[in-house]
Amino acid sequence: MNGIACIQDLAQLAGLQEAWEILANPFAAPFLGFDWFYSCAKAVVFPNVLSIQVLWRNDEVAAIAPLERVKEKFCYRYELLGSHFLGEPSGILYRDEQALCTLLKKLSELNNPIRLRRLGADSLELQLLSELFRGSPLFSVRNGGKSPTLPIESTWEQYESGMSSRRLSDLRRARRRLKKNGEVSFRIFSPASDQAPALLQEFMEVEHRSWKGENQSSLLSRPVLARFFSEYTLRSAQKGVLRMAFLYVDRKPVAGLLGVEEFNRFWVLKIGYDQRYANCSPGILVMHEVIKYAFEQGLERFEFCGWDAPWMHMWTKETRAYLSPLIYSLSLPGMMVLMKDLSGYIAKKFPVQEYLRLKSTGKGN
């Protein structure tokens, strides 16, 4: 079999698992694994959403672009599956450069526009796309943010002693404040599949008691996210890579962290805490304990994932950079989305208030 096939339902996707994992393993990232994307597909659940482009070469899968159709105001846009609601790094899977180039050319022929969120800034996908669309107005690249990463190159004692004395003092004060509320304990679980649902529920309840619950961004407030993590944690538990950490006061959880330990790294997926203990910095305390765990396990790196934030800089200043390419098509939907994106970009860079200010001085005509 040769050519490109489009996978549009879960049954077809399930049949691709073995081939998918063969392609994904060299990339050594959970965000590209079959379990991640299958969980995304189950979370979306809407009909006619999946559009997974599979390149076959000599009866073997040579490349996969895991796409979904996301509703825009005027039309649909293709995006990497799950990227619009998870916000984690993503990418295309491929056996070699030739396979990737063939698949990217196919994507450029689709009628609807494409947004590939958070590709690695030094990725082969970005390099080939830049060459394919060199000088074309139908291609642009937006900033995809950064994610902190911490290399583990010493013992925990050596690492912690090298931290800022002010930060260490802050951690000690936070622990003392927390202890005034009761007996403090920490535990990290490697749950079996029958334990994962109850622990996930416990985590979601803790997270919902934070600012995330107030602004409706918690897992309990977002059914799609809840469905994704319900499926993904179960699959991760079956593989033995799921890790769930909790900080307790009198055996009641006040902070939690959800992650996976895979490819000799710890990957943070979610963190949450009870707002009632905010003055004790429970989120920072649970993160510090999990980083200690990663050192004691002799892992290679600790991946904070998500988006860079100043509070994470107490542990590391090293980050990974991401870019988000946009591809527009020579079609009515493509041109409409291009105009929409351009107007939004201009408005962000040059807000109406600034235009009115210039106009009042005679410079905005």
Residue range 171-193, pLDDT digits in tens: 999 999 999 999 999 999 999 99
- φ/ψ of 90, rounded to 5, equals -145, -170
Q: What is the pLDDT of residue 354?
A: 43
User: Model confidence at 79, in pLDDT bands (50, 70, 90)?
Assistant: very high
Establish if 309 belongs to a structural domain: no
Q: What is the pLDDT of residue 252?
A: 97
For all residues of the chain together, what is the average pLDDT?
Answer: 91
Tell whether the model's pLDDT for residue 89 goes beyond 50.
yes
Establish if 87 belongs to a structural domain: yes
pLDDT in tens, 191-222: 999 999 999 999 999 999 999 998 999 999 99
Residues 115 and 190 in one domain: no
Residues 212 and 104 in one domain: no
User: Model confidence at 360, in pLDDT bands (50, 70, 90)?
Assistant: low
Region 284-309 average pLDDT: 98
Residues 93 and 75 in one domain: yes
The pTM of the full predicted model, rounded to 2 decimals, is 0.90
- φ/ψ of 341, rounded to 5, equals -65, -40
Region 107-131 average pLDDT: 93
Tell whether the model's pLDDT for residue 339 goes beyond 70.
no
Residues 233 and 333 in one domain: no
Establish if 315 belongs to a structural domain: no
Q: What is the pLDDT of residue 71?
A: 83
Give the distance from CA 213 to its chain's centroid: 20
d(CA 99, CA 258): 35
For tokens 């796309």, name the residue. 129
* Token pair for 160: 């912690």
Q: What is the pLDDT of residue 332?
A: 63
Q: Which helix (H) or strand (E) is 32 found in, with range?
A: none
Beta partners for residue 71, in sequence order: 76
Establish if 215 belongs to a structural domain: yes
For tokens 């937006």, name the residue. 142
d(CA 81, CA 117): 10
Q: What is the pLDDT of residue 127?
A: 96
Q: What is the pLDDT of residue 352?
A: 43
Which burial class, exposed, middle or buried, applies to 250 when counting CB atoms under 10 A from its CB (0-12, 13-18, 19+)? exposed
User: Model confidence at 157, in pLDDT bands (50, 70, 90)?
Assistant: very high
CB 323 within 8 A of CB 121: yes
Residues 330 and 263 in one domain: no
Region 128-136 average pLDDT: 91
Beta partners for residue 50, in sequence order: 68
Instruction: Give me the CATH number covering residue 51.
Output: 3.40.630.30
Containing domain of residue 194, as a range?
Answer: 153-299
Residues 113 and 197 in one domain: no
CB 74 within 8 A of CB 271: no
d(CA 45, CA 49): 8
Q: How many domains does the chain have?
A: 2
Residues 160 and 123 in one domain: no
Q: Which residues contact 329 (CB under 8 A, 6 or more apart)?
A: 110, 111, 112, 113, 138
Q: What is the pLDDT of residue 174?
A: 97
* Token pair for 321: 């950079």
Tell whether the model's pLDDT for residue 150 goes beyond 60.
yes
Residues 64 and 12 in one domain: yes
Region 230-259 average pLDDT: 98
Establish if 350 belongs to a structural domain: yes
d(CA 347, CA 342): 8
Q: What is the pLDDT of residue 356?
A: 42
